[in-house]
Amino acid sequence: MSKRVVNFNAGPAALPLQALERAQREFLDFEGTGMSIMEHSHRGKDYERVHNEAIALLRELLQVPDDYQVLLMQGGATAQFAFIPLNLLPPQKSADFILTGVWARKAFAEAQIVGKARIAANVEGEGGRCTRVPTQAELQLDPEAAYLHFCSNNTIMGTQFHAFPEPPTSVPLFCDMSSDILWRPIDVSKFGLIYAGAQKNIGPSGVTLVIAKKSLIASGREDIPKIFRFKEHAKENSLLNTAPTFAIYMMRNVLAVVKEQGGLAAMEKRNLEKARLVYELIDGEPGFFRSGVEKASRSVMNPVFRLPSEELDKKMVAEAAAAGFVGIKGHKLVGGIRISQYNATTAEQVAQFCEWARGFAKRNG
């Protein structure tokens, strides 16, 4: 096998090597069936077994309560920006949104098309930049809101909620967890709905996870096309139409690895160690590496920083790639450097990068 690089891409992102190797072994002949899983009917028993195993693993790893539905959908989190208000924003109510960056604002904008939406908090600065998440005290909440929506991790700005917002008692909490789901254990019962594009911690792009209270799904509107109704997807076990079968197969492989490696408690320990390594790098060279994110809001998944000049940013990206560390260029909206270190990235790989980065700083500082 050719040498594999250390992949810090923000998404699609690194996948566990064990999950990829399993797919490689089974690619041409899945479990003695004489064909690839990609060639199996989504209505057949062989694929159905994989489909149900993926859902069961999600339930087990996240300890999803029995009164919640797990859906495997398509269209990414971006489609859910529309799906959610279409289903769960009644005409007579409005929804509350916490704006912490690009993805939260896009969700807000889609809800405004469908119905009424209001801003409960906004920490966006000049040019939409965000350097922190709001505190609970800053939230201006509507006790009659249909739901309170937030994005738990900001991949672009490098901020993250380490304590989740608390809505009024009667208001369900909805969360876009695309870039940090499965990084640690969470209490699913605190949420009315969780959704996540798979291409960070769950698997490859092409499948989207939705976890929602069954009572919420049942209350969904019926004056929208059938394909957009959560309740129809739930009724058919996420097989209302042809599912992204290979993406779900790969999700199954990834989740099996997470379970084998100790589950979410083990992921949290490993992820905190990776974050410690990167932020020690940043804080240890304050004249060269500058975070710009308030410490209490720093992302475990996506640390970001800048160098003294854009020229040095570009140089670091190029030299890192040559050294085998790819995907560290910051998002085009903010520039700088971004280290996306999802579950599949090991602490050893992050330590190797930090050692290399210290050398880069010494050579260019």
Which residues are annotated as catalytic? 103, 176, 200
Torsion (CA) 278, 284, 288, 292 in degrees, nearest 10: 60
Which among 112, 87, 291, 173 has a CA at the least distance from the CA of 164? 173
Give me the amino acid identity at 224.
I
DSSP type of residue 172: P
Pure H helices in the chain: 17-26, 45-62, 76-88, 102-114, 214-218, 230-235, 245-260, 263-284, 310-322, 347-364
3 state DSSP class of 54: helix
In angstroms, the first-to-last Cα distance of the chain is 37
In sequence order, the 6+-apart residues with CB closer than 8 A to the CB of 81 are 106, 107, 109, 110, 111
Q: Cα–Cα distance between 65 and 31 in angstroms, integer?
A: 31
Q: Cα–Cα distance between 303 and 293 in angstroms, integer?
A: 9
Looking at the DSSP bridge assignments, the partners of residue 68 are 213
Give me the residue label for tokens 């920490």.
Answer: 123
Looking at the DSSP bridge assignments, the partners of residue 130 are none
In sequence order, the 6+-apart residues with CB closer than 8 A to the CB of 169 are none
